[in-house]
Amino acid sequence: MAVLFEHEGVFIHSNEDGEEPDLLVSGFLRLIDKDGETIVEYKPLEDTVDPSNMLCAGKDSSSVMEWAQCPGEERSTPQQAVVEQQQSYETEWDMINAVSFPKRKPCSNGEGALNHTHEKSKWAFTFSVWDLRSITVKKEGSSRLMFRLKEPPTSLPVLHFHQGGSEDFLDCLRRYALITEAPDDETCLLVSTPNRALSQSFENLLDDNNYGLVTKLKNDPYVTTLGGFSKVTNYIFDAFRGPELEQQQRPPEEMADLDILGLGEVIPGLEINQQEEPGFEVITRIDLGARPEVTRRQPLSAEDWAEHQEKGGRMKNVPHLKKIIFKGGLCHAVRKEAWKFLLGYYPWDSTYEERKGLQRRKTDEYFRMKLQWKSVSEEQERRNSRLRDFRSLIEKDVNRTDRTNRFYEGVDNPGLVLLHDILMTYCMYDFDLGYVQGMSDLLSPILYVMENEVDAFWCFVSFMDHMHQNFEEQMQGMKTQLIQLSTLLRLLDLAFWNYLESQDSGYMYFCFRWLLIRFKRELSYPDVLRMWEVMWTGLPCQNFHLLVCCAILDSEKRKIMEENFGFNEILKHINELSMKLDIEEVLHKSEAICMQIRSCKDLPHSIIEILGFNTESELPRLEGREFGTLDSPQSPRPTQRQEVFSNGHNGHYREPLQNGCKVTFIS
């Protein structure tokens, strides 16, 4: 169990109507990840006091109030009062809090204390985010939150945040659920979450006979996500739909009505989605406007690269250089040097001499780490199961990574030895993560370009800094990106999103492999190099790789919807796109989608956060209004800042919004 969020000083007013004296119940609110399920928990402080964290009131503290005596009970003697004060240092009643209330002394028969404890305990509640329908937010005076559950429709006690913290809670919750504002009530937030089977498939055993997706990924990802989804579509479908539908097709009556989803004649700008859940309807009015035309250019040549270097080796006009790389990529002759800058191994403002010194230090550091695992004897390794497991996985994966590429083909290929040694050394660099299958796919193109063990290692380290959460056991990075992708697609094409939702595919798990290893298995080797270097520029927005996913899906939606693809067919179709994608077409459409979204006014907050748009930033734009021309190399240099690619968690490149369309979600 992991605590994702915790905040004390959250109160329940026992009598909201004010007809009886109000009892303020002080407690703490938690957001917990328990076996892959996100839980909201509220407990009064008295029920779960941790003595190690207790702050006791001192002798003169005004936060400890005198207990009222029961009828007929004599007042305490001074000696008894001293004893009671000493005992108070070991009770929960003396916890220092910003709000203090009189406490009643228990009666001699003990019933008073029992009733008081029962009065507090009855306000505790726990529920899964999956069961949450909406949150009502009130901000008059102190903030208040009221949770409403789905089935049966239930309203829980109102939580009062006298000491703040409600926005922090909502911000944390947005990482694990899709939250949108109700159109007819700005105080109501509607909550949507991935279905339970999908989330459990990341972390848990679905049952005794079917391994969860993470377990399969660790044991043999080349048979699951990395090897070919078409081989496991039945497994995933059956696991998500349950044993009662095993080897059955969806009945025709359960197929979505395509006219409702926007393929028939509908009212322009108005989409209505009648979902499978009875009584739930989504109405959304969207006008994104026309998708702008964008242009791309030829790859950056060695001559162009040299023009952006000063005499001492410092790179100049870096923002313009990144724009050129984003627009056309790099010629292969430049990649070995340029990737070191794009990945952050070389600082953009470093000189030749500074880079030589950096390489010497990094070479020494690398070989010291390599010596650590090289010097482990067989006897030592027999007592180190983690290192033994890492080595076994690496040796297994290296022997099947990109063996059709000339750099890695054949027996006893030196490229395979370098691939093995770098991955083993990375285990010494980050022993907590070690090696997870799929990481060899991320290293292979880098080593191919660098042709140098040390440089490839440190570039790989920089790449892994941003991909780390994809490979952690909890896979929070993957979950976050799938939710973000679903949010973007819902904005861009509600009809298609509704169709996927009706086929149990609304949370994009068929894009898992795309996100896990950044399209490495979907594109040819040269196209992978092009895609990665474009994304590493950090342009034209944060999380550009999610828009790449949207662009691919936009090209495939017609076939998916017109042929009534169900769960299995969608998964199989997406898997079969491997090696059939046109890289230039995908990048062209991805950039156009970004420009289309950027031109919108009053974007939902979630979209602004995902793409890193910031109305206050004044960074130079990628292009003009139509994004058709680049700034000239002689244009004044704007304030320089660190700009790197992102994995869904940090914003790096931000630009001002332009007036355009208005988007409103109605759920």
Over range 336-342, report the average pLDDT. 97
Residue bearing tokens 């026992």: 14
CA distances from 535 to 140, 191, 619 (A): 44, 31, 18
Backbone torsions φ then ψ of 266, nearest 5 degrees: -125, 165
pLDDT in tens, 479-495: 999 999 999 999 999 99
pTM of the entire predicted model: 0.59
Cα–Cα distance for residue pair 330/307, rounded to 1 Å: 14
Predicted confidence at residue 662, as pLDDT, reads 38
Predicted confidence at residue 324, as pLDDT, reads 97
- The answer to whether 145 and 166 are in contact (CB under 8 A) is yes
pLDDT in tens, 200-243: 433 332 333 333 444 454 455 444 555 544 333 333 444 334 33
Predicted confidence at residue 372, as pLDDT, reads 95
pLDDT in tens, 251-296: 443 333 322 222 222 223 323 233 333 333 343 445 778 899 999 9
398: tokens are 């290296």
Cα–Cα distance for residue pair 242/235, rounded to 1 Å: 10
Q: Does 466 have pLDDT greater than 60?
A: yes
Of 634, 631, 633, 609, nearest to 619 by C-alpha is: 631
283: tokens are 């109405």
Going by pLDDT thresholds of 50, 70 and 90, the confidence category of residue 20 is: low
- The answer to whether 458 and 366 are in contact (CB under 8 A) is yes
Predicted confidence at residue 313, as pLDDT, reads 94
- The answer to whether 2 and 32 are in contact (CB under 8 A) is yes
- Strand 188-192 and strand 178-181: the pairing is antiparallel
Q: How many CA atoms lie within 13 A of 230 on its CB side?
A: 7
Cis ω for the linkage preceding 656 (within 30 of 0): no
Cα–Cα distance for residue pair 598/612, rounded to 1 Å: 10
The lowest-confidence range among 11-20, 218-227, 452-461, 650-659 is 650-659
Helices (H) and strands (E) in the chain, counts: 23, 13
Q: Which residues contact 243 (CB under 8 A, 6 or more apart)?
A: none
Residue bearing tokens 């009015």: 285
Listed ranges 98-107, 220-229, 349-358; the one with the highest mean pLDDT? 349-358
Going by pLDDT thresholds of 50, 70 and 90, the confidence category of residue 19 is: low
pLDDT in tens, 388-431: 999 999 999 999 999 999 999 888 889 999 999 999 999 999 99
144: left (phi over 0), alpha (psi -120 to 50) or beta: beta
Cα–Cα distance for residue pair 154/148, rounded to 1 Å: 5
Predicted confidence at residue 46, as pLDDT, reads 55
Over range 609-624, report the average pLDDT. 61
CB burial of residue 204 (10 Å; 0-12, 13-18, 19+): middle
Mean pLDDT score of the chain, rounded to an integer?
A: 74
- The answer to whether 130 and 108 are in contact (CB under 8 A) is no
pLDDT in tens, 631-640: 433 333 333 3
Provide Rg for the chain, Cα atoms: 29
Q: Does 196 have pLDDT greater than 80?
A: no
In SS3 terms, 127-194 reads as EEHHHEEEEEEECCCCEEEEEEECCCCEECCCEEECCCCHHHHHHHHCCCCEEEECCCCCCEEEEECC
Predicted confidence at residue 271, as pLDDT, reads 34
Q: At what angle do helices 414-429 and 352-374 cross, to 10 degrees?
A: 90
User: In this structure, which amino acid lies at residue 555?
Assistant: S
